[in-house]
Structure 1
């Protein structure tokens, strides 16, 4: 199939998907465009005859994409004597393409197709005694998210329209999985479930697919790259870093030698061994196997947005910096790669590293990490990579660790290229922070309850979890039925205030005695009070005891809400069953 590219005339673009061919002809007038397209079709016909391929004109279609009126060519385009039909919205790999490339019809069709899938999620999440929200969310991701994100390489041209049109489908499935009301605010439903809203999820997938394209090509340009750069800049306020390309897409060839690896110390050194027992074992290994080898120690370090590597045993030591998006794994692998580059080629060398994950990745030969592939390609037979326990008082390892700490703050960089997995992970975190900043600026009831995307543990009972989820988002039948019936908001019959979940559980004087009892019960010293808060948050499925979330720890409503939920377990829970 690759010979087809050479058969086409100049000025015509071709896209090849298995045995499907897309020809793109661009011109200032219809007549000139039609002439280019006919020449390209004739070239494809001649190539098919020469290579014994069959062409099917009845399965082909022509589409006119521009901002002017949708008018067919004056003269037909023919293939093998048959006229190729002209269509307003042809399908390319099941994606409808309109003349303005907005994909409006395609988005509407996806929205229609997902309605039955949403009903399946609703059935799974509403007909069981036990809570199975995790399963419902996984089913939603498999059935609905896959449908929405299909073909993003093409539909990302109008990714804002995609997010606007299909957000109701995406968020509706989240509401069904959490047993929330259909009128629950979308962002509150996603935050309570611990997932990103539709717009942020689409942005992450667009960037992820653009990066996947970049790491497999060199110097290629396509539309998804420009859109990904714009999205990355919008969500992070920084530019998309340079991408480290893979050396190969497949696993290590069977006839390529695996680097010399030594993991004997993993079977000798135990996890709880003291330093006094670990050092003699290491020295015994060195004196027995590597007495005549040149010894190099490597290490990688990351602290917040600073990444560095340290190499001891080359000159007076090397301390270099990596881009802030790199992970500790990448830093450890980069340190070994640099050590192999700088070592002497004629002397047997042993490189000691405390990263067992890097050594295991080298052993399997299945890693697509560019630094790992560089080590596999450059490591010669005279070089051995040996695992050594870290932070056990081994002099060379401690020196390399110190150099790595210095490397985090130095100006000299190993490379500016970052592996795709590291950029993807970094962007996911920054996109989550972008949404959390947006969330905290809303300043409503749900913001007082939860301020992070961490998933809280669900209750075992589906009814209890349904009530709890609706109380968290502050959107219940008794407080928000007016949004459906279009009447005035309800007022509290006791104090004539706006009826809200916060008012019922915290401020209403009807429960003043219970509130006083809870205040007395919680009037402990500061250390005991903090421990009680953590215990109560863990009880309702909140963060663990050591969670450092300021919003939850500083807000007394969370504590009162927790105590009241269980104080009224026999009365309020029954009355709230239909919330």
Structure 2
């Protein structure tokens, strides 16, 4: 923890340093990771870092640079904005790049569009939203215990009273699948007022909020009084929350405060056969197949989610190309969680057997002797041979692990498996 914190502090400086300089950083970092899990000195550092749940220096650099990408895109500093626009406009690279231009290059490498969202001029504070601007009458009923017919009846009663005062109803909805995100704004009878597609990484929360924002723009362009119905209770609660100052929510709150007598929001439960809500849901889903406008709408959290997903995919791709015994016991490169009620020595034995480097098979690397030979099988003695082909170890494994394979046991570091592995080591008289 101490070494990694110091490395993180200077990572923006050494991130583009030559490999010879990075060696001075890697040595103490790798040594600290090796000692933290009591690994054998000759164990591959890739295995050690995966077992310890730590990133490589290169992975850590990519992760922290990605965090800076988010900060730059959503920066509200005019000086930084000017530098960003200059770096984007200059197509030819300078001999000595600025830190901002290097981060923009990293963003392009990760296939991130470095396009800043439009800034929102906020002129109304959150407390200017009147209590009756957001109608949450139907939210008082528990959806699990309220039937569709009851919800329809309640909505009909509320809408009838409001229509008498001249209010018109507009419905919004967002839709998200594995490969598509979209939104729609419709009238009560299902006429599509606005429909669009959003970036794949956009969350359903952003899609629902973006639909409300477009509905507000439509109402402001037309005469009359409008109630915008949404089935996203999380978005409406965010609008009601004065501590939520994200650009998208603040923009919605700003427009409501501008025209309190013309615009109201209302929560309507989804999928309970309220006609307007069902029509909006169909329209949002139809955007997956129909040619619609693409809107570049995303929030800071959406961008973080996409970056984390890209980084995880990149790490998994790199790990899939790695060939070693350790990959059989940790195919997904996930850090194991060891029980705390066992002696350290037993856990160390289990870890070293997972890593595939033990004194019996790799002591010769330190003593500079010849590679050990299995006397019974007359072949090179390594961890794969011991666990898979050795005539001596096979009957011992059958008696200790029963029907389970040794690799399945090593994948799951619970107390029982650790005890069985130590029993196997003692019986076979392996030196770890």
Matches of 1:290 and 1:174 in 2, distance apart? 68
1:570 matched to 2:423? The reply is yes
Of the three residues 247, 252, 257, the one matched with 2:129 is 257
Which residue in the other structure is 1:211 paired with?
Answer: 70
Q: 1:184 to 1:512 in 2, by over 3 A?
A: closer
Q: 1:228 to 1:276 in 2, by over 3 A?
A: same
Q: 1:220 to 1:487 in 2, by over 3 A?
A: same
Of the three residues 319, 323, 332, the one matched with 2:199 is 323
Q: 1:567 to 1:332 in 2, by over 3 A?
A: same
Say if 1:246 and 1:368, in contact at 8 Å, map to a contact too: no
1:12-27 superposed matches below 5 A: none
Which residue in the other structure is 2:56 paired with?
Answer: 197
Which residue in the other structure is 1:432 paired with?
Answer: 312
Say if 1:174 and 1:189, in contact at 8 Å, map to a contact too: yes
1:148-227 superposed matches below 5 A: 148-150=7-9, 156-158=15-17, 165-217=24-76, 218-221=81-84, 223-227=98-102
Alpha-carbon deviation of 1:327?
A: 1.9
Matches of 1:219 and 1:333 in 2, distance apart? 29
Which residue in the other structure is 1:94 paired with?
Answer: none
The higher-RCO structure (CA 8 Å, 6+ apart) is 2
Tell me the SS of whatever aligns to 2:381.
Answer: coil
Which residue in the other structure is 1:304 paired with?
Answer: 178
Q: CA-to-partner distance for each residue in 1:277-331, whole Å, 9 max, x for gaps? A: 5444444444455664322222222222321112222843433101123222221
Q: 1:519 to 1:369 in 2, by over 3 A?
A: same
The TM-score normalised by the length of structure 2 is: 0.78
Alpha-carbon deviation of 1:400?
A: 2.0
Q: 1:517 to 1:228 in 2, by over 3 A?
A: same
Alpha-carbon deviation of 1:255?
A: 5.8
Which residue in the other structure is 1:244 paired with?
Answer: 117
Which residue in the other structure is 1:418 paired with?
Answer: 298
Say if 2:239 and 2:249, in contact at 8 Å, map to a contact too: yes
5+ unaligned residues in a row in structure 1: which ranges? 1-139, 524-532, 542-561
Alpha-carbon deviation of 1:212?
A: 0.4
Tell me the SS of whatever aligns to 1:184.
Answer: coil
Say if 2:184 and 2:284, in contact at 8 Å, map to a contact too: yes
5+ unaligned residues in a row in structure 2: which ranges? 88-97
Tell me the SS of whatever aligns to 2:392.
Answer: helix
Residue-pair matches, total: 405
Which residue in the other structure is 2:385 paired with?
Answer: 503
1:99-138 superposed matches below 5 A: none
Matches of 2:124 and 2:359 in 1, distance apart? 59
Which residue in the other structure is 1:548 paired with?
Answer: none
Of the three residues 328, 347, 350, the one matched with 2:227 is 350
1:458 matched to 2:338? The reply is yes
Tell me the SS of whatever aligns to 1:242.
Answer: coil
1:483 matched to 2:346? The reply is no
Matches of 2:135 and 2:40 in 1, distance apart? 58
The TM-score normalised by the length of structure 1 is: 0.60
Alpha-carbon deviation of 1:389?
A: 2.8
Of the three residues 240, 254, 257, the one matched with 1:363 is 240
Which residue in the other structure is 1:540 paired with?
Answer: 413
Q: CA-to-partner distance for each residue in 1:196-225, whole Å, 9 max, x for gaps? A: 322112112112113302312444326333
Alpha-carbon deviation of 1:456?
A: 4.1
Say if 1:296 and 1:351, in contact at 8 Å, map to a contact too: yes
